Amino acid sequence: MDELDENDMKRNTNSDDVRNLNLDDIAAGIDNVDIRDDFMFSYVMCNREICTELLQYLLPGHKISRIEYYELGDGGTGKSKFGTEHSGDSSKKYEPLQLDAQKSLNEAFNRRTVRLDVYLDDGKSVYNLEMQTTRHAALPKRARLYQAHMDINQLQRGQFYTKLRPSFVIFICTFNPFDEGRYLYSFRNVCRETGAELGDEAYKLFFNTAGTHGEISASLREILRYMNDPKSYPVEQADLPLIRSIDEAVDKAKMDNEWRHAFMIYQIHQQDAELRGEARGISIGEKRGISIGEERKAIDTAKSMMRENLPDDMISRVTGLSIARIQKIRDGLPTN
């Protein structure tokens, strides 16, 4: 793939896009992107070694020897959503991911499937790992949806439901998802009456980067502290190599022309979706406003005609209101 910079991006964008989407702002904002950005997080997690090590800290006691990356519905090709994977060669630790940005982004945006940020399979369990920076009440149901799609994906790859493996939906939240200040909130299905576990091996974990208490390792506390505010974290003084590796991977991505190009495409799609949503909202609002205004005018006209003792069928023909509606208005009209 030929090298592409922000100027190429602007030249390849049509005039309508330039008018509606401020590419200069997108380009300028790239330097401020950190690991909390979901696009950056997904990219960095495509490094096998970084992702595996992070999972080991998030899930102590789990031995994860090898991970595969999958898109939902990809048929088990093992490809990441960025098109290729990191080498498993330990001599090339934290090797930069080679990215076919245009191809991978086009594929991602043309799909009509649920997108899991990082969907992993280590041969024993499946994992969805995602960064969450926006608080909303539907997060638990999003976890439920993701878990369902992970199960379906296993079945699509030829697994009987009895062979479904343990699944972990993991959200790293830059806010307190359940208002108790804990580092970790973990959920599994248990019987309310007896406390017995259902045994479906479906787990949901919500990590809170702004947590203040809870039983997690000192190393994981440092990782969460870094992710809570990477710009103010003293990376140079970090005792944990993983933190330095994540930060270096972020810096390398921001200096890579292909990544910058891919990020701009992603932002354009995001902003375009927001513009379409905003336009649709305005259109709906205008239609509702017109509809409400017309209805009020019809009711006022009907009331005036009622005061002149005109028959309901005539009022209906003039105002367009149903006879039943006119009768309700008449019943509520004060008598003089």
Segment 189-216 mean pLDDT: 95
- Of 103 and 313, the structure prediction assigns the larger pLDDT to 313
Examine the pLDDT at 43 and tell me if it is beyond 80. yes
pLDDT in tens, 96-142: 333 333 334 344 444 433 445 577 778 788 889 999 988 877 899 98
Segment 280-285 mean pLDDT: 63
Examine the pLDDT at 213 and tell me if it is beyond 70. yes
- Of 63 and 270, the structure prediction assigns the larger pLDDT to 63
Sheet with 126-132, edge to edge strand ranges: 68-69, 118-121, 126-132, 167-173, 202-208, 184-187
Segment 145-162 mean pLDDT: 81
pLDDT band of 85, cuts 50, 70, 90: very low
CB 81 within 8 A of CB 42: yes
CA 271 vs CA 16, 33, 109, 264, 276: distances in Å: 13, 16, 13, 10, 9
CA 54 vs CA 85, 193, 205: distances in Å: 17, 36, 14
231 three-state secondary structure: coil
Up-side HSE of residue 1: CA atoms within 13 Å toward CB? 17
Segment 149-167 mean pLDDT: 82
Segment 64-86 mean pLDDT: 54
Most confidently modeled range among 37-41, 99-103, 229-233, 296-300: 229-233
CA 287 vs CA 47, 241, 273, 283, 300: distances in Å: 49, 57, 21, 6, 20
Q: What is the pLDDT of residue 16?
A: 47
Angle between helices 48-58 and 241-255 (to 10 degrees): 140
233 three-state secondary structure: coil
CA–CA gap between residue 109 and residue 170 (Å, rounded): 23
Neighbours of 204 (CB within 10 A): 21
- Structure pTM? 0.66
Examine the pLDDT at 17 and tell me if it is beyond 60. no
Neighbours of 149 (CB within 10 A): 20
**Residue boundaries of the structural domains of the chain:** 33-255
CB 207 within 8 A of CB 184: yes
Which amino acid is located at 60 in the chain? P
pLDDT band of 286, cuts 50, 70, 90: low
- Of 31 and 283, the structure prediction assigns the larger pLDDT to 31
pLDDT > 70: percent of the chain: 67
Q: What is the pLDDT of residue 334?
A: 63
- Mean residue pLDDT of the chain comes to 76
DSSP state of 47: S
Examine the pLDDT at 77 and tell me if it is beyond 90. no
pLDDT in tens, 166-197: 999 999 999 999 989 999 999 999 999 999 99
